[in-house]
């Protein structure tokens, strides 16, 4: 993608639209974002990473995209440009990392990535038979089916989901309940906090899946 900021912009526009459509409309929950968010910055904990020219172009395209985002709707009118957007980018080949507008949010359907890894972890331990859940796995990931997620999350179990979060190195993510039409809390404890995640943690989950041994 070197020297092709327009291509980068179009790709990111598509990615953002798909992310926003992935289950938020059916979650039935409202998340209050922090009143103050830090500005765009490279992740300070990884400042030793050398950021290549491609990533510099990507960073500028992302920041321009956030600044230009349409906030004319009633729910977004007058909000800061970064209040509902948080971005994490990692190039698995070069090691380049960007963490822009970091904050915790209600993750909507992104928790299905955690569930996917947890189910395959259970399959590897022969606690779940892949042929028995393959259709639900396809539906959960390909069409973001909430019912499939609810069933698979219960099959995998909250302990295994927690194991995946720890193994992937996440720090600000919890997965405690299902999604509508069945949004019950795992273990039946309504005192558990709502699902929460960060863009960086979801990047770590994707890296963990990418490095899966099988």
126-146 pLDDT, tens digit per residue, is: 999 999 999 999 999 999 999
Proportion of the chain above pLDDT 70, given as a percent: 69
Res 38 pLDDT > 50:
no
| Strand, helix or coil for residue 4 | coil
Give the pLDDT score at 135: 97
Please state the rounded mean pLDDT for residues 36-49. 42
| Strand, helix or coil for residue 119 | helix
**Phi-psi sector, 188: left (phi>0), alpha (psi -120 to 50), beta:** left
Res 68 pLDDT > 70:
yes
Helices marked H in 30-145: 53-68, 111-124, 130-142
Mean model confidence pLDDT for the chain: 78
- Burial letters 92-108, b for 16+ CB under 10 A, else e: eeeebbbbbbbbbbbbb
**Phi-psi sector, 32: left (phi>0), alpha (psi -120 to 50), beta:** beta
User: Which fold is adopted by the domain 108-210?
Assistant: Beta-lactamase (3.40.710)
Banded pLDDT at 117 (limits 50, 70, 90): very high
Proportion of the chain above pLDDT 90, given as a percent: 44
Res 192 pLDDT > 70:
yes
The residues spanned by each domain of the chain are 5-103, 108-210
Please state the rounded mean pLDDT for residues 77-93. 76
């Amino acid at each position: 993608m070197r020297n092709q900021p327009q291509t980068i912009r179009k790709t990111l526009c598509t990615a953002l639209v798909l992310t926003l459509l992935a289950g938020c409309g059916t979650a039935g929950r409202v998340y209050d974002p922090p009143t103050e968010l830090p500005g765009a910055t490279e992740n300070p904990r990884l400042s030793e990473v050398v950021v290549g020219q491609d990533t510099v172009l990507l960073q500028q395209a992302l920041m321009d995209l956030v600044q230009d985002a349409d906030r004319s709707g009633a729910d977004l009118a007058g909000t800061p440009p970064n209040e509902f957007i948080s971005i994490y980018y990692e190039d698995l080949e070069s090691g380049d990392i960007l963490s822009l507008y970091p904050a915790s949010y209600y993750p909507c359907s992104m928790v299905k990535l955690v569930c996917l890894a947890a189910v395959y972890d259970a399959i590897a331990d022969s606690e779940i038979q892949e042929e028995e859940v393959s259709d639900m796995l396809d539906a959960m990931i390909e069409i973001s089916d909430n019912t499939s997620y609810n069933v698979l999350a219960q099959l995998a179990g909250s302990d295994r989901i927690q194991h995946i979060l720890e193994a992937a190195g996440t720090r600000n993510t919890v997965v405690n309940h299902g999604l509508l039409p069945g949004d019950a809390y795992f273990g039946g404890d309504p005192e558990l906090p709502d699902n929460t995640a960060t863009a960086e943690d979801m990047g770590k989950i994707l890296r963990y899946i990418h490095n899966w041994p099988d």
